[in-house]
Structure 1
Amino acid sequence: MDFSKQKKGTTSVWAGETDNFHEESPSVPIFNTVTYAYDDLDEWYEVAKGNKKGHIYSRNTNPTVKVLENKIRILEGGEDSISFSTGMAAISNTLFALLKPGDRVVSIKDSYGGTSKIFLEHLPKFNIDVTLCETEDHEQLGKEISKGCQLVYLESPTNPTLKVIDLQRIAKAAKKVGAITVSDNTFASPINQNPLSLGVDLVVHSATKFLGGHSDVMCGLLCGRSELIKKVFQYREIMGASLSAEAAYTVIRGMKTLELRVQRQNESALKIARYLEKHPKVDQVFYPGLESHKGHDIAKKQMSGFGGILSFELKGGYESVKKLLHNMKFVHLAASLGSVSTLAGPPRTTSHVELSEAQRKQLGISESLIRYSVGIENAEDLLEDLEAGLDQI
């Protein structure tokens, strides 16, 4: 079925699922099997060589997993897609599959902490040069890319400071030097942003977050150009970071309500950001939906919604952070995001727990910052909860 004319809510439900499945089931079955048997050796060989459709071994492909991969491919508008056991598996497998010793990567300082650790510690061990630019300095990014590189890695909005990158501008600069552009779209979700349509080559998601949506499954997804996906698939096939059928099924089920959840979270996050921006005990609010946000105009251009994540700095440092978070009812103090329930915490225990305080400071992440992932609760209840917590400071 051609989904190009369908709205994203319809696509989230139907993509990859337009045919009835085993025994005419309208729901995706969980194919909980390791291997697949063939009566004919010649047919088995043709499937194994990729000359005929089918499955051989679930470390490589699985029917349930394939439905999920098709769903994200269609939602993001990619040529092909691949899944992983976690979001970090998606990021690390992509980087190591596409880079070799002597290559150069240009990226940003504000990427997720686990990604930063790969750039700061692991890639240099393999003689891969990494240049990290000021995230919102598009001039610097362009200059570093023009010097030559093999891969440009982006994240927009960033975790946890919600900075915004002009994806189309940077992807265009990367193409001039023949570099691959990879963008982490976890914070935006495919409901709010589609980087492939802006010229990016590969889009990565931690499906553990908004796509799954219920904090009950871990998954990573990658989609984009087919020749690049094939390279990453061959690497993952050997490294073994495959997704289980049960996890794939859980993400598929979560994605059916993706648009409903994200629209609610978009609306609530903007209300909360506006409230916090005016509060005397709040130093700064970081949310691309605010007119005061440095990247607001870019976000308006490339996003259809501003997302369910915001962050803010409190006056009074880390002691204020503890007082607020310890005096709120409708929030889990937990290290994830994108769930139906509100989650919050400082980067020292969430996005950048892998880094030292000095490293976080170097990246411009203060100890008074709180990342706040808005759930689908009633926005007025969340606002009252924040107000009660702020009153304790």
Structure 2
Amino acid sequence: MDFSEYKKSTASVWAGETDLFTQGAVTPPIIKSVTFGYDDLDEWHRVATGNADGYIYSRNTNPTVHVLEEKIRILEGAEAATSFATGMGAISNTLFALLEPGKRVVSLKDTYGGASRLFLDFLPRYQVNVTLCDTTDFDAIETELAKGCDLLYLETPTNPTLKIVDLRRLAAAAKKVGAVTVVDNTFATPINQNPLALGADLVLHSATKFLCGHSDAMGGVLCGRKDLIQKVFQFREINGASLQADPAYLIARGMKTLELRIERQNASALTIAQYLKAHPKVSEVFYPGLESHPGHAIAKAQMSGFGGILSFSLTGGYEQVKQFLPRLQFVHLAASLGSVSTLAGPPRTTSHVELTEEQRSLLGIPESLIRYSVGIENVSDLITDLERALALV
């Protein structure tokens, strides 16, 4: 079914589910079967070789997982999609499938800590050349691209300092040198931003976060150009980082309320950011919805909403952070983000726990920083909670 004429909220509910399921069920069944049988050997061969639709083995494809892949494919306006057991599975499989010794990656200093580890530690072991640029120095990034590049890896807004990258400009520069542009769209979600429409070749998500929305299932998804997706799929097929039916079902179910949740979280995050910016115990607030944010104009041009994540620094440094966070009542002090309940924590225990304090400092991440993932609670209650905790430190 062509969803191009319909809104994203409709696609979130119906994509991958326009046909009735077994016995007329109106929700996708959780198909746990590892393997799928065929009476006709010729049909079996056609499906196994990709010349006919169907399922062979759940490490490769699965009907329940396919529903989720269709939802993200349609919401991102992609030709094809595939999925993984985790968000890091999506990132690592994409990079290792598309790169080989002698290839060159250009990326940002501000990326999720797991991705940073791949760039700093793992890819160099395989003789992949990695250049990390200052995230908002677009001239410098274009200069590095012009030297020759095979893959440009971007993240916007960045985790955890919410910097904004000009996707249209950098994707165009990458195309000039034949580089593939990959964008991590986890923070923005397809509700707020569609990188493929801005020139990217591939877009990935940690589906564990906003897509699922309930902190009860892990997964990753990748979508974009069909030829590239096929290459990554073949690598994942052998690598084995496959998404299982149970979490795929939970993520797809969560996506049915994606637009409702994101609209609420967008509005609440902006209100909270404005409150914190005026507070004397807060030294800095990072949120692209604030007009004072350095990337606000670019974010406004390429995003339809500014997201449900913000971060802020306290004036008293990390010792004050240790006093402040436990005093919050309506926040889980836990890793992850994008849930219906508010989650918060410092990068040293969340997004960049894999890095040393020195490495975080080099990436411009202060120890006094708190990443705050806004849930769907009443925003006035969240502000009261913040106000009470700040008064006690």
Taking structure 1 as the reference length, the TM-score comes to 1.00
Displacement, 1:114?
Answer: 0.3
CA-atom RMSD, angstroms? 0.5
Rounded to whole Å, the distance in 2 between the matches of 1:40 and 1:78 is 33
Give the SS at the match of 2:292.
coil
1:265-297: CA deviations, max 9, x gaps? 000000000000010010100000000000000
**Residues 173-231 of structure 1: CA distance to partner in whole angstroms, max 9, x if unpaired?**
00000000000000000000000000000000000000000000000000000000000
CA distance in 2, matches of 1:172, 1:11: 29
Shift of 1:2: 1.5
Instruction: Give how far 1:354 is off.
Output: 0.3
State the SS of the aligned residue for 2:330. coil
Question: Partner residue of 2:4?
Answer: 4
Q: Which residue of 1 aligns with 2:336?
A: 336
Give % identity: 70
Question: In structure 2, what is the equivalent of residue 79 of structure 1?
Answer: 79
- Answering whether residue 244 of structure 2 is matched by residue 234 of structure 1, we say no
Alignment of structure 1 residues 1-393 onto 2, 5 Å: 1-393=1-393
2: CA distance between counterparts of 1:364 and 1:66? 39
Distance in 2 of aligned mates of 1:11 and 1:67: 12
Shift in Å at residue 85 of structure 1? 0.2
Deviations 1:344-365 (A, max 9, x none): 0000000000000000001000
Deviation for aligned residue 1:50: 1.2
Compute the displacement of 1:35 (Å).
0.2
Q: Which residue type is aligned with residue 92 of structure 1?
A: S
Runs of 4+ in 1 over 6 A off after TM superposition: none
Q: Describe the SS at the equivalent of 2:200.
A: coil
What letter is aligned with 1:272? I
CA distance in 2, matches of 1:53, 1:10: 25
Q: Structure 1 counterpart of 2:263, which letter?
A: Q
- Secondary structure in 1 aligned to 2:228? helix
1:119, distance to aligned residue in structure 2 (A): 0.0
> How many residues matched?
393
**Partners of 2:7 and 2:36 in 1: how far apart?**
36
Q: Secondary structure of 2:212's match? A: coil
SS in 2 for 1:228: helix
d(CA) in 1 for partners of 2:340, 2:122: 34
Task: Give me the whole-angstrom Cα distance separating, in 2, the residues matched to 1:39 and 1:201.
Answer: 39
Rounded to whole Å, the distance in 1 between the matches of 2:52 and 2:279 is 62
Letter in 1 for 2:35: T
The alpha-carbon deviation at position 24 of structure 1 amounts to 1.3
The letter of the residue matching 2:357 is: E
**Aligned counterparts of 2:47 and 2:359: Cα–Cα separation in 1:** 49
TM-score (normalised: structure 2): 1.00
- Offset of 1:22 from its aligned partner? 1.2
Provide the C-alpha distance between the structure 1 equivalents of 2:50 and 2:366, rounded to a whole number of angstroms: 51
* Structure 2: runs of 5+ lacking an equivalent: none
Distance 1:282 1:210 in 2: 27
